[in-house]
Amino acid sequence: MGTISPAWSAPPAVRALVTTRESGDMASPAARVRLPVPAQPRWLKQVHGIRVLVQPSDEREADAAVTRERGVVCAVMTADCLPVLIADRGGSAVGVAHAGWRGLCAGVVEATAQAMRSRDLVAWLGPAIGPRVYEVGDEVRAKFLAADDAAAAAFAPTRPGHWLLDLYAVARQRLHGAGVTEVSGGDFCTYSEPERFYSYRREGSTGRMAALIWIE
């Protein structure tokens, strides 16, 4: 089955994967049951916010999840938004965040890192829309710069009033600011690889990939 395994320095007890288009639409229960995971993933009701759930939880509305329990599978679904996987180097905690531009700007990455309760974290950036094609307006850039002037480096001008946004660059900035010194991944583009990834910007109505992480 088509999945991507992160290339990062997480400890052996930490397991993670991201599904691809070949895996099927993760919004479909039929596709979910084929996932090679030790337990039913803890699916979220994502709202482009910054709330983080500590799993297992009976609640669902959130855009990130962390766990310190073995065999509990944290999950987010994406189709251009950025999945950010985070692990404690000691293997005691893992987390995953759904970081579209709204959540990224508001601080979902920092909130997830804080909820891990560790000062020794590594992160991996999964498939998202890439910096050569993700065009946004002046209002999006203004929101990022209002939060952090350093975000200006993640924008490149295109036509008047529009900019290319590098979600990966902003995520690295935010992770480093949260004390995560090692960040891997960030070399995908969901929009530019239609045979491999779903893309909401490219297709409008489309399926979803899943990013999953757990402790064995």
Every domain of the chain and the residues it spans: 3-129+182-215
State the architecture of 3-129+182-215 in CATH terms.
Answer: 4-Layer Sandwich (3.60)
Residues 73 and 67: their CA atoms lie apart, in Å, by 8
Distance of CA 39 to the CA centre of its chain: 20
In angstroms, the CA 95 to CA 85 distance is 6
> What distance in Å separates the CA atoms of residue 5 and residue 181, rounded to the nearest whole number?
21
The answer, as to whether pTM is greater than 0.95, is yes
Q: How far is CA 31 from the centre of its chain?
A: 20
Q: Encoding tokens for residue 29? A: 């229960």
Residues of the chain with pLDDT under 70: 1
Residue-wise pLDDT for 74-100, tens only, equals 999 999 999 999 999 999 999 999 999
- What is the rounded CA–CA span in Å between residue 208 and residue 204? 12
How far, in Å, CA of 16 to CA of 4, rounded? 9
CA distance 103 to 82: 10
**Best CA proximity match to 139, nearest among 160, 159, 162:** 162
pLDDT of res. 181: 86
pLDDT confidence of residue 1: 58
Place of tokens 């990455």: 109
Dmax over Cα atoms in the chain, in whole Å? 51
3-state class percentages of the chain: helix first, strand second, coil last, to nearest 5: 25, 30, 45
d(CA 185, CA 6): 7
3-state secondary structure of 157: strand
